[in-house]
Structure 1
Amino acid sequence: MKDTAQLQIFKDFDGYSPKYHFFKNSLFGQIKDSIPWDELAGCLPAENTGPGAPRWFDAKGMFGMMFLKAYLNVSDRQLIERFNTDYSLQMFCGKLLAEDKQIRDYTLMTGIRAYIEDHCEWEQVQSVLLNHWKKDVNNSHVLLMDATCYESYIRFPTDVKLLWESCEWVFEKQLFRLCKILKTKRPRSKYREQKIKQLVYFRKRRNTHKETLRRRKSLVYLLEKGIEQLQQIMDMFRGECMRPEDFACLRTIKKILVQQTFLLTHKPSELKDRIVSLHKPYVRPIVRGKENKPVEFGMKVHMLQVDGLSFIDKMSFRNFNECKRLKISVVKHKTVFKGTTQLGADRIYATNENRRYCTRNSIFTCFPKKGPKNHSKAEKILSSEISKQRATVTEGIFGTHKDHYGLRKIKVRGEKREKLMVLFATMAANAVKIAKKRNREEPAPREKAA
């Protein structure tokens, strides 16, 4: 038995391998076939062949890694570790690693996001994918729309936390560090005493309104003194030992000081563009009015859907009224698909202006009827079906994105990068849907032979 030769069932010939066959027949292979890689690669500039180490991925590989990041819902490090050992991921990105090679740069995904952010707009990527997928859409005349909020990964913001984080950054990360490097005496401050009081405040389970107000006033005064002392040292040594990121953070802290000083004497509703995070200063509170979560901290997205295919109308970290987007959404739908004859939306969209626009353009809606004339029996059935699709499919896709495509809490930093994460999560969910739909509609091998 030891000398018995093993018969290979599958043999490699002309570049063909069993692994490639298994990959092409898997869901990964079907997803890859549903994506227009050449058109996507055209969104990025030609590959740079200048000095320096060669890139691991070309333009197609970069987009492939972004799709995999959303589809697998893993961290950057876990994605690189799996890519090193999984041939299907390597085939998906068009980069087969040699047996003795491994990607050891775990910051690779950060570089890919930065490169796409600098050289490509999310609207351009979405347009390429929609124009490729629109031939797979059946009921393109039905447009559904709704809005949601994809939250950023930040601690729950309070005024005391924000002020204390700013004080820590000014004193410990900058002022004390610069004095040590430049060998100068630390300026006199009450930082140590305030630190003890802050620890006492944090240890309490509940703090009264008076205690919180007293703490805020003390921290505002401390922060003002700290910024003044830091500015004096920076002027004295002309900003030595400080990075560009430090200057940007200092500008944010100065805005926080102005806002928190304003809030000591005014109502929170009177303050616009309120900063809630020191490290993500672009995040704003989004008042949603939901029963279980009235305020969310992240990006508001107005999503459109056609036959289960989702695409983004608007993304913004500042709150906006989605009912104002109905006309623009209909026009955007018309540029990709033929036109809208049926529209499904929430009751917030049913303004008189939107009703007149839909009537003028012969668009049937699921809005409640106004006036003495009721819907006919056929209109009631159609309105009920559109409302059902909007309430189940459209709102259900938001939960799918958050639970399975990494949008429960967006951890990347940067306004544009967070938008890219939402875009690729939405497009990855679309690619899975298109791949499964094509697989169902593809005839069986016997039917092909017949």
Structure 2
Amino acid sequence: MYKKNQNRQITLKDFNQPLGLKLDPENKWIKKAAIIPWDDIEKEYADLFPSECGMPAKPLRMALGALLIQKKYDYSDRELVEQIQMNPYYQYFIGLPGFQLDQPFAPSLLVEFRKRLTEEKLAEINEMIIRNNKHDDDNTPSDNSGSDSQKHDDTANTNDGTLIIDATCAPQNIAFPQDVNLLNKARENLEEIIGSVCYEYNLKKPRMYKKKARKDYLALAKSKKRSSKKIRKAIKKQLQYIRRDRNYIDRLSSYEYYPDEKQLERLEILDKLVEQQQYMYDNKTHTVENRIVSISQPYIRPIVRGKSKAPVEFGAKLDLSVENGLGRIEKISFEAYNESEVLIPAIENYYKRNGHYPERVLADKIYRNRVNLAYCKEHGIRLAGPALGRPGKDTVIDKHTEYIDSVDRIEVERKFGLSKHSHGLGLIMTKREDTTRSSIVLSIISMNLDSLLRLSLFQKLILIFSRYNCCYILCENIG
């Protein structure tokens, strides 16, 4: 039945429930399904999931819907499939024609879903969802005809609306990186590679002093008091063990006993890690450029945040802009960057969406540099906050406007809190760099769906109360 109807989008009336049971149309997953323009998204990105080896392709709605459910409740891949298997509302949301007891897909397919739904594709899908739910009172999209220079010179368009922007970090699920721990992991990886090569070519393993190296590591790991002298001594020993193991691999390679492709990639990471650790040991420092903090995820970098709870976080840094209560990611990077460089591109993106610049931009102090202030002044945008430098004697400060701006800017902080607490942005569980980027954008899409759901409820309440007031006024006039 599913193969026959997979090209036709399922409505609530079409969904087949056993035992004559009916789904509640007020359920949030039913309403979320109505918010997403499935037909447009399927038409645009259906080629991401082609049929392979004679197997029918999974629809994009199934892939995107499953990942959004996972983001909302932080299920593991295996648990997500089990939950979908038991829940008819989940099955409706991912586009199944009726309730079924069989698994809709294997848990391993979720990795492929995240690979194919890239950061760029998901950002476009987020934009399609926002456009589909755009109301008349929102800013209307711009006409794409004509050059950008002609649009920018058009003085007929007056500034309107508010753009809020701020940066945060999406922490990755890794152990806190300590130098001794990283070197111990590197040594264990080298021992595994040597053992694998010797097993592959039926060679005798060289003496690697595994037990002694492990004992030296545990002597520090189990120690309650770690002096700097004791830590340096443990690091020195681990570096010596690693140097010996690395020489074994070079010797095996000289006799044409090579590791496989994945092991060679891992060796490159280990060599870079050991080089950094040797540099820090020799120079008695704890900082180095492009420092590796995880062997399994070498793309992760330490991001200095300066927060009291977590002064340094390990994960991707991102800039989020909020317009009409909905979030968009302006930039994702695993390298530290200055947030101020994102402001002008974010305003230009606002212009492309709406055909005019915002009336005001609410941002943190770090965004208020001379370049950004000059740009905003040139385009008639009020960048909220005090002027640079010491205020003059005759400077008049509008405290009421400052208060309104500070209150409105809290919206972006609220979005960070919601996305981290309820939509998986607080701890990213994926392992690959590309799937991590996709996971971050999925968190923002999931948060926007909840915001649109609350907005629709709010509008319904306004409609009910407005009708009630009209009836009340009419009764008064009649009376």
TM-score range (shorter-chain normalised) is: 0.7 to 0.9
C-alpha spacing 1:222/1:162, structure 2 compared with 1 (3 Å): same
Instruction: Give 1:220's aligned residue.
Output: 239
Decide whether the 8 Å contact of 1:333 with 1:340 is kept in 2: yes
Matched, 1:441 2:459: yes
**Residue 256 of structure 1, CA deviation:** 0.6
Matched, 1:412 2:430: yes
**Residue 107 of structure 1, CA deviation:** 1.9
Q: Give the stretch that moved more between structures: 40-49 or 149-158.
A: 40-49
Instruction: Give 1:280's aligned residue.
Output: 297
Kindly, what percent of the aligned residue pairs are identical? 22
Decide whether the 8 Å contact of 1:87 with 1:96 is kept in 2: no
Give the whole-Å Cα distance in 2 for the aligned partners of 1:16 and 1:184.
62
Instruction: Give 1:297's aligned residue.
Output: 314
**Residue 31 of structure 1, CA deviation:** 1.1
Matched, 1:205 2:206: no
**Residue 134 of structure 1, CA deviation:** 3.9
Instruction: Give 1:77's aligned residue.
Output: 78
| 1:95-151 Cα distance to aligned partner (Å, 9 max, x none) | 24664523473323222112324x964443333334334437747710111110010
Secondary structure class of the residue paired with 2:427 = coil
Q: Which residue of 278, 303, 313 maps to 1:261?
A: 278
Decide whether the 8 Å contact of 1:44 with 1:116 is kept in 2: no
Decide whether the 8 Å contact of 1:76 with 1:107 is kept in 2: yes
C-alpha spacing 1:249/1:125, structure 2 compared with 1 (3 Å): farther
**Residue 363 of structure 1, CA deviation:** 1.3
Matched, 1:355 2:376: no
**Residue 75 of structure 1, CA deviation:** 1.8
Amino acid across the alignment from 2:206: P
**Residue 387 of structure 1, CA deviation:** 1.2
Matched, 1:233 2:234: no
Instruction: Give 1:89's aligned residue.
Output: 90
Decide whether the 8 Å contact of 2:201 with 2:257 is kept in 1: no
Give the whole-Å Cα distance in 2 for the aligned partners of 1:437 and 1:332.
24
| 1:74-93 Cα distance to aligned partner (Å, 9 max, x none) | 22222111100101101101
Instruction: Give 2:404's aligned residue.
Output: 385
Instruction: Give 1:124's aligned residue.
Output: 124
Runs of 5+ unmatched residues, structure 2: 1-11, 140-159, 472-479
Give the whole-Å Cα distance in 2 for the aligned partners of 1:39 and 1:420.
20
Give the whole-Å Cα distance in 2 for the aligned partners of 1:31 and 1:365.
35
Q: Which residue of 179, 183, 190 maps to 1:163?
A: 183
| 1:182-227 Cα distance to aligned partner (Å, 9 max, x none) | 3212223333322211122111112111111111122122212212
C-alpha spacing 1:245/1:125, structure 2 compared with 1 (3 Å): farther
Runs of 5+ unmatched residues, structure 1: 1-12
Amino acid across the alignment from 1:81: E
Matched, 1:246 2:247: no
C-alpha spacing 1:209/1:440, structure 2 compared with 1 (3 Å): same
Q: Structure 2-normalised TM-score?
A: 0.82
Please give the root-mean-square deviation of Cα atoms over the aligned residues, in Å: 2.8
Amino acid across the alignment from 2:125: V
Matched, 1:367 2:385: yes
Instruction: Give 1:40's aligned residue.
Output: 41
Decide whether the 8 Å contact of 2:15 with 2:92 is kept in 1: no
Decide whether the 8 Å contact of 2:186 with 2:242 is kept in 1: yes
Give the whole-Å Cα distance in 1 for the aligned partners of 2:15 and 2:306.
57
Give the whole-Å Cα distance in 2 for the aligned partners of 1:396 and 1:14.
37
C-alpha spacing 1:145/1:269, structure 2 compared with 1 (3 Å): farther
| 1:278-319 Cα distance to aligned partner (Å, 9 max, x none) | 011000011111222211111101110112211110000100
Amino acid across the alignment from 1:162: L
Decide whether the 8 Å contact of 1:301 with 1:315 is kept in 2: yes
Give the whole-Å Cα distance in 2 for the aligned partners of 1:386 and 1:375.
17
C-alpha spacing 1:37/1:215, structure 2 compared with 1 (3 Å): same
**Residue 270 of structure 1, CA deviation:** 5.8
Secondary structure class of the residue paired with 1:264 = helix
Instruction: Give 1:105's aligned residue.
Output: 106
Secondary structure class of the residue paired with 2:111 = helix
C-alpha spacing 1:122/1:14, structure 2 compared with 1 (3 Å): closer
Give the whole-Å Cα distance in 2 for the aligned partners of 1:15 and 1:394.
39
Q: Which residue of 390, 413, 417 maps to 1:399?
A: 417
Secondary structure class of the residue paired with 2:47 = coil
Matched, 1:319 2:336: yes
Instruction: Give 1:427's aligned residue.
Output: 445
C-alpha spacing 1:136/1:429, structure 2 compared with 1 (3 Å): farther
The within-5 A match list for 1:132-211 is 132-135=132-135, 138=138, 141-171=161-191, 173-211=192-230
Give the whole-Å Cα distance in 1 for the aligned partners of 2:345 and 2:239.
44
**Residue 445 of structure 1, CA deviation:** 13
